[in-house]
Amino acid sequence: MTVGPALVFLSVTGFVRGLAYIPGVMEPITRPLHPVENIAPMSTWGWVWLAASLFAFVAAFWQSRFSPWGIGLLAGLNGIWFCSYFLDALLANHLLNLVFATHHLSIAGLALWAVWRGVREPKPTSEEVAHELRDA
């Protein structure tokens, strides 16, 4: 089991979100919908999402030490978006943002669960592999 499929799914959803923030690509999101979007211009957030998504997509096919970074970047961005939407729903009484918050929590949570689940199985040591090859 590899983290490749999780990275592909994360990168696709992150890429689409990034495109939504880039002016002229989709119908623009012209105003911040939750607090974290006030930190930087919307187009900056678009480039952040696009860069993280492209990194994760490449890492999906080039299994290496970069895979955890790809998962971490996009799960982290989704986690930040969850917190921002959730706090906005509670503090500003924008209860519809609870829907968006749970969406981002689901993406981050399922990605982390899938990766954690896949890496729990113990990997055979080189001695175990050598022993199995001798017995074959």
pLDDT digit string, tens, across residues 16-68: 999 999 888 877 677 888 999 999 998 999 999 999 999 999 999 886 778 88
Instruction: Please state, for a pLDDT cut of 70, what percent of the chain lies above it.
Output: 93
Confidence of residue 80 (pLDDT cuts 50, 70, 90): very high
User: Does pLDDT of 120 surpass 60?
Assistant: no
Specify whether the CB–CB gap between 36 and 84 falls below 8 A.
yes
What pLDDT does 46 receive?
A: 94
pLDDT of 121 over the 80 cut: no
Sign of CA dihedral 47, 29, 103, 97: positive
| Cα separation, 36 vs 46, whole angstroms | 13
pTM of the model: 0.82
Looking at residue 118, its pLDDT comes to: 61
Q: Which residues are CB-contacts of 122 (< 8 A; sequence separation ≥ 6)?
A: none
